Amino acid sequence: MKDLQKKIELARKTVMQSDAILITAGAGMGVDSGLPDFRGNDGFWREYPPIKKLGLSFSQMANPTWFEIDPNLAWAFYGHRLNLYRNTTPNNGFYHIINYIKKTKKESFVFTSNVDGQFQKSGFLENRIIECHGSIHYFQCSKCCSGEIWSAKNIKIDIDKENFKVKGEMPFCNRCGLVARPNILMFSDVEFIPTKVDEQYERFEKWLTKTKLENKKLVIIEIGAGEAVPTVRNLSESIALNRYNTTLIRINPRDFEIPDGHISLPLGGLEAISKIFKSL
CATH of the domain at 26: 3.40.50.1220
Q: What residue type is 153 in one-letter code?
A: K
Helix (H, G, I), strand (E, B) or coil at 194: coil
Phi and psi dihedrals of 275, rounded to 5? -70, -35
Q: Which residues pair with 150 in a beta bridge?
A: 139
- The greatest distance separating any two alpha carbons of the chain, rounded to the nearest whole angstrom, comes to 62
Distance CA 172, CA 277 (A): 44
Taking the model in full, what pTM does it have? 0.96
Distance CA 85, CA 79 (A): 10
Q: Which residues contact 230 (CB under 8 A, 6 or more apart)?
A: none
Distance CA 251, CA 243 (A): 21
Distance CA 30, CA 93 (A): 10
Distance, CA of 149 to chain centre = 19
How many domains, in total, are found in the chain?
A: 1
Kindly report, residue by residue over 152-192, the tens digit of the pLDDT: 999 999 999 889 999 999 999 999 999 999 999 999 999 99
Kindly report, residue by residue over 84-140, the tens digit of the pLDDT: 999 999 999 999 999 999 999 999 999 999 999 999 999 999 999 999 999 999 999
- Structural domain range at position 48: 2-277
